[in-house]
Structure 1
Amino acid sequence: MNRRGAQRLRGGHPWVFRSDVVQAPALPAGVVRVEEENGTPLGWALWSPRSEISLRRLEVDPSQTIDASWWHTALARSIARRAPLANVANAYRLVHGEGDGLPSLVVDRYDDSLVIQLLSAGMDAWTDTIVESLRELTGCTGILARNDPAARDREGLPREVRLLYGDVPRTIEVNEHGVRYLAAPWDGQKTGAFLDQRENRVMIGALARGRALDCFAYHGSFALHLARHATQVSAVDISAPALARVNEHAERNGLRNIEPVQGDAFEVLRAWHRDGQQFDTIVVDPPAFAKTRGALDGAIRGYKDINLQAMKLLAPGGLLFTASCSFHLSRGLFFDMLSDAVADSGRRFALRSITGQPLDHPELINVPETGYLKGALLEAME
């Protein structure tokens, strides 16, 4: 590879783009040894012949051999980092791709089942080896490949959902700090549930009081935590099937203070403000408005609008937890957006807490692509 690619690797980033590959390997997708133009070895990397990201470094030490034993050790190390989570939940991420030094591999645990994503051609070539190690390391009863993200298109790989081992149920009960809900590994969002907000749900749930609001509720994961301390919770979502699952989850937890509200969150909040309604605790956790860099300007307007509506509805002394899962919306832009919303609200808000990604979704400081989730807890001062 050229000097630019080598500098990128030496700086700790695992990706090498096609334009920085001087001599492409005449090999199928898999693992290849990588060198600088002068022959200096730079370790081993996943090779994707059709991808713009041609190389993803796995191993710095060129003397290592990338074989079944290497994969077993790397997976065991990643899984061991999650050991504390087994005490509070039965669903969490075991491998977070580049964040765990295993680029383009995602492994999520749902009780006794695993859901994996192999998002590059180089990683996909090692499927059988990875599955065998995961079986041995976790004692799982089934492994499902949710290989349906668009990223596989860029690798020349098919999008598919395929059972790789054993049996994986259509729904699996998740127990998260005492709150129970159903994950849908075969056809649910992401790999079956939103595991990355687990600690944020616990945080705002413990602080909740009075009348609470969960915007973009989906299956009600935030609403369930809010309902344990709030008097009443409104769970707003545009999807009727999602709200039916909210009702099911409320019954599963013996909660009778959650009210599903079907409608567009933007319009619902505006109507409630016109009616003079107020809430003591609000959660704004929308889907990724900025899925591409080109969509960023419109996304910022959308994030500002929904947060402004929430700020108008918040009672004095009330708490607002707001988050964004858009990678292209940086932390700086996120807080700029919140500052603009506060200014337009005409109220004073104090920043109580800043949140990022949990233990099982590590964000590497020098690999920005590993980070996407950011959140803030705000208090209405008047």
Structure 2
Amino acid sequence: MAGQLIIKQGKEKALRRRHPWVFTGAVHKIKGKPGLGDTVELVDQKGDFLGRAAYSPHSQICARVWSFDAAEDIDDAFFLRRIERAKALRTALIPAATTAYRLIAGESDGLPGVTIDIYANWIVCQLLSAGADVQRGSILNALKALYPDFSIYERSDVDVRKKEGLEPVTGLLHGNQQPEPLIIEENGLKLWVDIQKGHKTGYYLDQRDARQSIKKYCQDKSVLNCFSYTGGFGLYAASAGASAVTNIDMSQSALDIAQQNLELNELQTPVEHTQGDVFKLLREYQQQERRFDVIVLDPPKFVDSKASLTRACRGYKDINRLAAELLAPEGILLTFSCSGLLSTELFQKVVADGALDAGRDMHIIERLFQAPDHPVSMPYPEGLYLKGFILRARD
């Protein structure tokens, strides 16, 4: 053990409730000289064991707990057990005709700072904390043992690594060749994914169930898919018999892939791909008096800190107001936030205020969250970040 963190009296309560984070303000004293990512022991004022954690001196979260078990060493066998357990869970959760899913969801799978996704025969890793970065070798050994025929690629190119004192890292970890764009299956539909250059690890796997949910509302309906990326919601709508689909995204290359996905699935629904700013285009559609039966709002994260929460709420309210004004009578709005700092309750209030300003009476008919391969550990509510509502306009 590289060192020991003695926790201030009263601050150990969160650890006893199995919350996996220790903030700098909770540390009374550091014994030894632990380095970046080293495993340290957490103890209370009496010296009683609280957990084993990865030390991160550059972050406000200065320790992330690997284990609350005093008898558990943080070694190769530890990571093999954790990943093997996660694999067994996903075997029971992943729907048929689906070849892409989240294998490790960080703290909720007992591996803080570790994100691992499966795309067909490729594994994509994001190691976002100091401890995860130091344990790269053990994580890689476990993956090779459990998935011997898979290639492994690293996408640790997220800004949060800077807060850990880490530089971005990408590249091939295991296999004979660099990954090319590949085809995955999701609920029986085929999609192109670029795991080297695509968003996140290549695709928004957390929205799989939400994409499936849209199908029941799209038969013979016009659908507007905002912040469409590679057209997932639009693809599902087209497969469900939508009369027309409009995808909007800032990235022309993402829209090009959206068209390839339609062709890949041999769908004939008329689809318009529009490159541009969603806020601006929705205002133009309003001036043109265009209306849509179904609208999807799946924007990027608007909140990156508590200081930006008020500004983000204004953005969410504005975009939901515009969407409500563009809805046809009895129309359906699917609206989402992936901002973990924005609670479900506050998000509902913001959306309600936007609908009120639009003069629309809306009912929640479904509540949506991240797909179940993105589980939420009960002591770690921060694991619930994606929330959404399916709303029906009452006209």
* TM-score, normalised via structure 2 length: 0.93
Q: Tell me if the contact between 1:46 and 1:56 (Cα under 8 Å) persists in the aligned partners.
A: yes
Cα distance in 2 for residues equivalent to 1:278 and 1:92? 35
1:181-196 matched pairs, under 5 angstroms: 181-196=191-206
**Hey, what does 1:379 align to over in structure 2?**
392
Whether 2:17 is the aligned partner of 1:11: answer yes
Contact 1:114 1:140 in 2 (8 A): no
Check whether the contact 1:30–1:126 (CA below 8 A) recurs between aligned residues: no
**1:143 Cα deviation after fit:** 1.0
Give 2:52's aligned amino acid.
W
Equivalent pair of 1:243/1:262 in contact (CA under 8 Å): yes
Q: 1:159 aligns with which of 161, 168, 187?
A: 168
Report the counterpart of residue 94 of structure 1 in structure 2. 103
1:266-324 alpha-carbon deviations (Å, 9 max, x no partner)? 22222222222211111111111122222222211111111111111111122111101
Q: Which residue of 2 aligns with 1:131?
A: 140
What letter matches 1:73 in structure 2? R
1:58 aligns with 2:66: yes
Distance across 2 between alignment mates of 1:43 and 1:237: 45
Answering whether residue 371 of structure 2 is matched by residue 358 of structure 1, we say: yes
CA-based RMSD = 1.5
How far apart are the structure 2 equivalents of 1:82 and 1:169? 24
> Can you list the C-alpha shifts for 1:49-71, whole angstroms capped at 9, x where unaligned?
33321211121111222221121
The CA deviation at 1:170 is: 2.8
Secondary structure, aligned partner of 2:12: helix
Secondary structure at the aligned position of 2:40 is classed as: strand
Residue 228 of structure 2 aligns with an amino acid whose one-letter code is A
Distance in 2 (alpha carbons) for counterparts of 1:241 and 1:186: 14
Aligned to 2:150: 141
Within the candidate set 293, 318, 325, 2:338 is matched to: 325
What runs of 5+ residues in structure 2 fail to find an aligned partner?
Answer: 1-6
Count, aligned residues: 382
Structure 1 residues without counterparts, runs of 5 or longer: none
Q: CA deviation at 1:181?
A: 1.3
- 46, 49, 54: which one aligns with 2:54: 46
Query: How many angstroms does 1:48 deviate by?
Result: 2.0
- The answer to whether the 8 A contact 2:96-2:188 is kept is no
Q: Is the 8 A contact 1:289 1:326 kept in 2?
A: yes
1:150 maps to: 159
What's the secondary structure of 2:210's corresponding residue? helix
The correspondence for 2:262, drawn from 242, 250, 253, is 250
Of residues 244, 250, 260 in structure 2, which corresponds to 1:238? 250
Instruction: Tell whether 2:319 aligns with 1:306.
Output: yes
Q: Check the 8 A contact 2:106/2:112 in 1, yes or no.
A: yes
Cross-structure match for 1:211: 222
**1:26 to 2:33 alignment:** yes
CA distance in 2, matches of 1:281, 1:74: 41
Spell out structure 1 runs of 4+ moving beyond 4 A: none
Deviations 1:58-111, CA, capped at 9 Å, x for gaps: 211112222211211111111211113162411110000011111111101111
Residue 221 of structure 1 pairs with residue 232 of structure 2 = yes
Per-residue CA deviations over 1:234-260 (Å, capped at 9, x if unaligned) read 111122222112211111111232211
Code of the residue aligned with 2:390 in structure 1: it is L
Q: Secondary structure, in 3 states, of the residue corresponding to 1:276?
A: coil
Q: C-alpha distance in 1, partners of 2:271/2:94?
A: 27
Q: Is the 8 A contact 1:34 1:41 kept in 2?
A: yes
Query: Deviation at 1:159?
Result: 0.8
Q: Secondary structure at the match of 2:11?
A: helix
Asked if the contact 1:33–1:62 (Cα under 8 Å) also holds between the matched residues in 2, the reply is no
Correspondence for 2:121: 112
Q: 3-state SS of the aligned residue for 2:206?
A: helix
Question: Would the aligned equivalents of 1:113 and 1:168 in 2 still touch at CA under 8 Å?
Answer: no
Partners of 1:175 and 1:186 in 2: how far apart? 18
TM-score, normalisation: structure 1: 0.96
Distance, in Å, in 2 between the alignment partners of 1:155 and 1:247 is 39
Deviation at 1:168, TM superposition (A): 4.7
Is the contact between residue 76 and residue 141 of structure 2 (CA under 8 Å) also seen in structure 1? no
The aligned residue for residue 181 of structure 2 is: 171
Native 8 Å contact 2:299 2:337 kept in 1: yes
Shift of 1:192: 0.7
CA contact (8 A) 2:229 2:254 kept: yes
Q: CA deviation at 1:193?
A: 0.7
| Structure 1 range deviating more: 261-270 or 91-100 | 261-270
